Structure 1
Amino acid sequence: MTIAVSIVIPTQRRPAGLATALMSALAQTGVDPASLELVVADNDQVPSARRAVEAVAANAPFPVVYAHEPAAGVANVRNTALRTARGGLIAFLDDDQEAPAGWLAALLTTRARHDADVVFAPVHARAPQSEAIYRPYFERFFSRLDDAEEGPIDHFYGCGNSLLRRASLPGGDTPFAVERNQIGGEDDLLFGNMQAAGARFAWAPDAWVWEDPIPSRLTLRYTLARAFGYGQGPTEHCWSSTPRDLVGVAKWMLIGLGQTALYGPIALAKWALRRPDRAQALDRAARGLGKTFWWGPFRLIFYGRTA
């Protein structure tokens, strides 16, 4: 039978998270296993995930394929996964996510019902009880929530927990922009370009997954840096678009200045008063700064390290 759907898990030195993601992907129900394959794309310099993947493959209900991409970078590993995958539909699951048994079937149902090129779905983050003060903030930060009902949407999200129709992807074998290898946002750039070209997006509220952020990410130092990077996204996208959208660049920079002017003093006051909700105000201020300071020396490296 022809492979219709490739479940893709990019990974880099997260053995525990990868094991959970693998088991959840292989436990999918409501989909003919003969139409599926699982592709694990390893972005470590050495093939550190190969043994674990091959061990799982021995008893898997459908083919499990290992791909090694030693060249560091989030776009590199996603592109390698796509080149390896055989399915006309690509379901992305991150290596810190766990999918319920009906996850893939829900994604496929929404895609078919609305003839979508890309389907996005919720992510529910879980932070340990030990993160008492900032736990609500961390769980909101790493979650993806939307009040939309199932159906078409006019916006997009990141690649983790999404379903893509391969034929709708631009760029041949490398739809993810390699210039985003270290800073991230390669998926935002791809989906932004697809939207400009008329791609159809849909939301599948029943296709949710859990996300368990690694401990090193459960710090304000990390989340505020990421908030700054997320803030850079819309301004940088306008700059990178063809033709370049200078009006959009100016608009987002001004919005960023306004957000910083509003939330900066609020964040400082809440920090001085040791308010438990201070993290959210700091997050808003950081996103505003990112919209304003988005070019060269202000770009932060989040990916691409293999040592």
Structure 2
Amino acid sequence: MSEAAPDLTLAILTYDRPRGLEATLRSCLAQRNTLGLTMEIVVVDNHPAGAGGEVVEALSPASPWPIRYVSDLARNMATLRNRGFMEARGRWLAVIDDDETADADWTDALAGALKATGADIAVGPRFAVFEEGAPPAYDPEGRQFVRDLGLPDLSEIALTGPSGRPRYGLGTGNSIFDLKRCFPDGRSAMREAFGDAGGEDAELFVRLHRQGRRIVWAARARVTETVFRNRTAIPYRLLRTRRETQHYVSIYIDGARHPALARVELFVKGLIQTALGGVLSWLTLEHRSTSRLRWRLLIQHGLGKLTWRRPVGFIDEASA
């Protein structure tokens, strides 16, 4: 007799972060689970050394739920995210990253949001702790590193406006999907053409929203991300901002009622932002500052709109 499918699969993608993976797994294993869900955990390891396997082996004996370890060395983020979706046997799939830890009622809040609203997807907030002990000087409150939509708990997220313009950029970290509702035809979740250009998860949310899938905000489903030193470096923030803007443009044009007009609108806006940001960054001497980033970020928003056909692609975080 085959083993019954669990209610919920927790998927974790990892790459050379054994200590982070351990913290993530321990937070998953510490779930209160007052809903009494049957669960499984799937770890997809993308690093050739396979350090994640040792972490799984060490934690599995005391785990209340089975943990499956999968090695997948594909150099394509969309392919790897799809592997996590494909490995899931549960009705629901919740995703958490290997630099995040979940509050003890995380699964209750995510699954509870779907049960309470009948929605197809729920997304929760992500807060930040910093490797250096504090946010960077250019963002003293750390707002750039937090995802909090500020919506009431269980409210529906309108991902696009009437024109088709995306209103929010969502990633899969701290989200839950009803797999049969979201992917009834069994197709892969992410578009693998994105490769290392990124944005495949943001595109997925908007595509599902445009297909009529309901997405709700699970304000009580909290995770905390560790923000490493290299991710607060100014060159990294600038490059990442340009890449995220390129994603926004691609997603907007893909669903715009009038794609040609959308291209013109975004091109003009990109020119204005690049020019204005360039002038103001020089007039205010921001280009020499380590505590101000506003106008340089505006430049990158503009450049992202102007260069969206030439995506930044993979960012080497070790050298950023």
Q: Which SS does the other structure have where 1:146 is aligned?
A: coil
Are 1:221 and 2:235 matched, yes or no?
yes
Aligned with 1:249: secondary structure? Answer: helix
Residue 42 to residue 145, structure 1, CA distance change in 2 (3 Å): same
**Which aligned runs of 4 or more in structure 1 are off by greater than 6 angstroms?**
none
Provide TM-score, normalisation by structure 1.
0.89
Which of the residues 203, 206, 212 maps onto 1:192? 206
CA RMSD of aligned residues (A): 2.6
What are the equivalent positions in structure 2 for 1:171-182 lying under 5 Å apart? Answer: 172-182=186-196
Shift of 1:164: 1.0
How many angstroms does 1:245 deviate by? 2.7
CA offsets, 1:88-131, max 9 Å, x none?
11111011111110111111121222221111111111222366
Match of 1:21 in 2: 24
The within-5 A match list for 1:44-55 is 44-55=47-58
Deviation at 1:9, TM superposition (A): 0.7
CA distance in 1, matches of 2:37, 2:151: 33
Aligned partner letter, 2:125: P
Partner of 1:158: 171
Could you say which residue in structure 2 is the equivalent of 1:79? Answer: 82
How far apart, in 1, do the equivalents of 2:175 and 2:261 lie? 31
Cα deviation digits, residues 227-279 of structure 1 (max 9, x gap)? 00111122112455599933323322323233333333333334448666522
Partner AA of 2:263 in structure 1: V
1:33 Cα shift? 5.9
For 1:240 and 1:249, locate their aligned partners in 2 and report how far apart those are by CA, in whole Å. 10
Structure 2 contact 125–148 (Cα < 8 Å) conserved: yes
Task: Tell me which residue corresponds to 2:65.
Answer: 62
Structure 1 residue runs of 5 or longer lacking an equivalent are: none
- Structure 1 pair 270/25, CA: closer, same or farther in 2 (3 Å)? farther
Relative to structure 1, is the Cα distance of residues 10 and 224 closer, same or farther in structure 2, using a 3 angstrom cutoff? same
| Structure 1 residues 242 and 264, CA gap change in structure 2 (3 angstroms) | closer
**What SS class does the counterpart of residue 163 from structure 1 fall into?**
strand
CA contact (8 A) 1:158 1:187 kept: yes
SS at match of 2:156: strand
Are the equivalent residues in 1 in contact too, given 2:109–2:221 (CA < 8 A)?
yes
TM-score of the aligned structures, taking structure 2 as reference length: 0.86
- Is the contact between residue 183 and residue 303 of structure 1 (CA under 8 Å) also seen in structure 2? no
SS in 1 for 2:216: strand
**Equivalent in the alignment of 1:9:** 12
| Residue 164 of structure 2: aligned partner | none
Contact 1:181 1:303 in 2 (8 A): no
Q: 1:275 to 1:261 in 2, by over 3 A?
A: same
Count the aligned residue pairs. 303
- Rounded to whole Å, the distance in 2 between the matches of 1:62 and 1:41 is 17
Indicate which of 148, 151, 166 corresponds to 1:148: 151
SS at match of 1:90: strand
Check the 8 A contact 1:252/1:291 in 2, yes or no.
Answer: yes
Provide, for residues 144-200 of structure 1, a one-character-per-residue CA deviation record: whole Å limited to 9, x for no partner: 121211211102511111111112334735211112220110011111211111111
Q: 1:196 to 1:131 in 2, by over 3 A?
A: closer
Question: 2:133: which partner in 1?
Answer: 129
- What is the rounded CA distance, in whole Å, between the counterparts of 1:147 and 1:131 in structure 2? 20
- Mean Cα displacement is larger for which, 271-280 or 44-53? 271-280
SS in 1 for 2:140: helix
Secondary structure of the corresponding residue to residue 149 of structure 2: coil
CA–CA separation in structure 1 for the residues paired with 2:117 and 2:263: 33
Q: Is contact 1:258–1:288 with CA below 8 Å preserved after alignment?
A: yes
Task: Verify the 8 A CA contact 2:286 2:295 in the aligned structure 1.
Answer: no
The amino acid that maps onto 1:79 is: N
Letter in 2 for 1:152: E
- Unpaired runs of 5+ residues, structure 2, are 160-167
The share of aligned pairs that are identical, in percent, is 28
| Matched letter for residue 111 of structure 1 | L
